[in-house]
Chain A
Amino acid sequence: MSTPATPSRLAIDMLSAISLRDGNRPVLRQVSLDVGVGEVHGLVGESGAGKSTIAKAILGIVPSQVKLTGGQIGFEGRDLLKLPTGELRALLGRDIALIPQDPSTALNPSRRIEAQITDGLRLKRGMSAKEARARAYALLDEVQIRDPARVLASYPHQLSGGMRQRVLIAAAFGLEPKLVIADEPTTALDVTVQKQILRLIRSLQSRHGTSVLFVSHDLGVVAKICDRLTVLYMGKVVEQGATADVLNAPRHAYTKALIAANPRYDQPDTGLEPTPPQVIAELRAEIASFDAHVAQAGAGISHG
C-alpha cells in the first residue's frame, strides 16, 4: 500500500489469523502495515476489529484460541513469527516494549513501583541494583512525576490512574526500545489526563526516535498523536495513509462514518452519528467477497 517516508522498522505483511473458538472465523485478513523509524502509526478500528490481535502477535502473546495462519511480522529484517522463543524473549523489553491498556491491572499489586521498574533494567540492561534505582528515579523524573522517591516507594494502589500510566510509560521507554506498542494507553484515563499522557508519549518518542504503534478506537486521540494511520474493520485494512490525508479526505465510506461518529466540540449539533447501515452492509459484502476470493485461491492451490 502506501510507502513510508522513512525506512521501515516494523513491516507487517499479509498477516492473517482465525479464531479457533468461533468456527475458524477470520480475525485478521491479510493485514499489511509499515511503521517507519521514528514514526507514530495509529491502528484504528472498533472493538473486535483485530487491533489488539496485531499488537499481541508482535509481542508473541496471542491467546490460545487465536491461530495465526499466514503472513510475516518483519522487525529489522527478521520475522518475529519465526523467531525461537529464546531470541524473541531477548528482543522483548529491549527492542520492543508495551504500554498496556489498563494501568490499574498492569502493575503488580503487591510489589513496589521501584521493583517493577528496576526489574527490566536489571534483566535487560544488566544494571546493578544501585544503577537501576538511580535510572528509575531519572525515568520518573522524565515522565514528569513530581516526587519520584515517594512514587518509587509506593504500591500501585497508592497512585492515581494517570500516575500509574506514567510509571508504565517510564518503564516502557526506560529500556530504550526501538518500537513501543501502545495498546489503548489512554482509554482508561480521564480526558484531562489523556491529553497529558499523549503529549508525554509524543515527546518521549520524538526525543528518543522511537517508533510507536498506537492502537486506539478513538480517532480524536489518534489524530492528535499519529503521523500515519491504518483503519481496520473486521480484521481487514479499510484505509491507510498519512493522518491528515485520511482524516481530511477519507476515501472509504467507513472511515467517513468513523469520523462522523466522533463528537465535535466546535459543532455540538453534528457528530455522534452511528455508522449508516448501508456502509456496514457494503463493508460486509466487500469482506465476504474477499473471503470467497481467498478460499478460492486456497482451493486452487490445493487442487493444483
Chain B
Amino acid sequence: MSEAEAARVGVTRADIAAGAGPRAASIAARLLRDPKVVIAGGFIVLLIVLAIAAPLIAPKDPLDQNLMLANVPPAGFADAEPGYFVGTDDLGRDVLSRIIFGTRVSLTVAFVAAGLACVIGTLLGLLAGFLGGFVDTVISRLVDLWMAFPPVLLSILLIAVIGTGLHSVIAAIVIIDWTRFCRVVRTETKSQAQMDYVVAARTIGFSGRAILFREILPNVMPVLIALLTLEMGIAVVVEAILSFVGLSVSSDTPTWGGMIAEGRQTVHEAWWVLAAPLVALFATVVAFNQLGDGLARSLDPVMRR
C-alpha cells in the first residue's frame, strides 16, 4: 500500500471514529443493554418472522377443515392429537396455524396504519406548534372536533360507508388516530420552540424549515417513537375489534379478532380456540408498549447516562 493510500485510509478511519460509526454502534449497544427493548423487541421480531414466513412455519394449512378432528384439545391434554399443538376449532382447523397466519393482518395494520397516522399527525402537529397563531388555531380546533367523536363508533361508521377490507381498516385507524400524534407533537414542539437553542439557530440565520426539522424534530423523536409503538398496539386491538364484528378482512383470511369471535361461540366445548388469539393479542400489545417505553428511554440523549 502506498503512503498516500495509507494516509487516505487513515483519514477514513478518523472520519469513521469521529462520525457515523460510533453513533450507530453505540445506539445499538445501548438498545441491547435494555432488557425491555431486547425482550419486547425480540418478540416483535419473532412476530415479523412468523408473518413473513407463515407458510413455511405453520404446521398445517390454516384453512384446511377436518370435521373428524374438530375441537381437539391442545397438546398435553387428554384426547390431544399429535401435530395439533394448540388444538383445533369446531371445523377442525389447526389453531396454531391460524394464529401464525393471523399475525400477517395484525402486523400489517400495526405498521401501516400506525405509521401513516404518525406521519400525518406529526406533520400537522409540528406545523401547529411551530407556526402558532392562525395555523395552530385551525389545526387545534380540528383535533378537538375530531376527538369529540367516539372512535369505535366512528370507525364502524366509516367502514360501513367505504366497505370492509384491509384497506378500509387501515384508513379507519389513520383517520381516527392521527389526532393522538398531532396533539402530543404540537405540545412538544411548542415547548421546544421556546428553548434557547432554537433562538440560537435563528440567530445564525436558519430558515424555519431547517429549525423545525433539524433542531426541533430530533427532540420530539423520543416521545414520538414511544407514541408510535403504543399506537401499533392500539392498531392491533382496533383491527381485532373490527374483525370481531366482521368489518375487517373476509372470513377466509385468519385474523385474531375473527378467531376470538369464533372461539366465543364454542368457549364451553373448546376454550383454547378463544384463549389462543387472546394470549397472542395480549402479548403483542404488551410487547409494543414495552418496546416503546424502552426505546424512548434509550434514544433520548438526555435521559440516557
Contact = CB atoms under 8 A, between A and B. Distances in A.
A and B: interacting chains: yes
A233 to B, nearest CB: 26
Interface string B1-24: 000000000000011011100110
A288 interface: no
A175 B201 CA distance: 14
Contacts of A90: 205
Contacts of A93: 203-205
A110 B22 CA distance: 15
A109 B197 CA distance: 9
Contacts of B302: 109-110, 155, 157
A135 interface: no
B300 interface: yes
B31 interface: no
Contact of A124 (B18, B204, B219): B204
Contact of A153 (B22, B195, B207): B22
Contacts of B196: 100-102, 105-106
Contacts of A149: 14, 17-18
A260 interface: no
B12 to A, nearest CB: 11
A157 to B, nearest CB: 6
Contact of A109 (B19, B210, B219): B219
Contacts of B204: 92-93, 97-98, 119-120, 123-124, 171, 175
Contacts of A123: 204-206, 210
A114 B215 CA distance: 14
Contacts of B301: 109-110, 155, 157
A171 B222 CA distance: 27
A61 interface: yes
B210 A97 contact: no
B35 interface: no
Contact of A108 (B14, B197, B207): B197
B17 A108 contact: no
Nearest to B221: A110
A105 B19 contact: no
Interface of B is mostly: helix
B218 A59 contact: no
A120 B211 CA distance: 12
Interface residues of A, number: 39
A284 interface: no
Nearest to A97: B204
A92 B22 contact: no
Contacts, number: 93
Given A100-B199, A108-B197, A119 B205 contact: no
B219 to A, nearest CB: 5
Indicate the size class of the contact surface on chain B: 20 to 34
Interface centre among A106, A124, A175 (most CB of B within 10 A): A106
B218 A108 contact: yes
Contacts of A120: 204
Contacts of B221: 110
Contacts of A98: 200, 203-204
Contact of B200 (A106, A152, A155, A175): A106
Contacts of A171: 204
A217 interface: no
Given A61-B199, A93-B203, A120-B204, A110 B219 contact: yes
Contacts of B218: 108, 110-111
A61 B202 contact: yes
Contacts of B200: 98, 100, 106-107, 168
B205 A124 contact: yes
B30 interface: no
Nearest to A92: B205
Contacts of B199: 61, 100, 106
A100 B200 CA distance: 7
A94 interface: yes
Interface string A143-182: 0000001001101010000000000100100010000000
B214 interface: yes
A61 B219 contact: no
A25 interface: no
B195 A105 contact: yes
A51 interface: no
Given A152-B18, A157-B302, A108 B215 contact: yes
Interface in B110-143: none
A94 B206 CA distance: 11
Interface of B: 14-15, 17-19, 22-23, 195-197, 199-207, 210, 214-215, 218-219, 221-222, 300-302
Given A61-B203, A109-B219, 5 more contacts: A105-B195, A106-B200, A111-B215, A114-B18, A120-B204
9 contacts: A93-B204, A105-B195, A109-B219, A119-B201, A119-B206, A120-B204, A123-B210, A124-B204, A153-B22
Closest 8 CB pairs of A and B: A93-B204, A92-B205, A105-B196, A89-B205, A110-B218, A98-B203, A93-B205, A106-B196
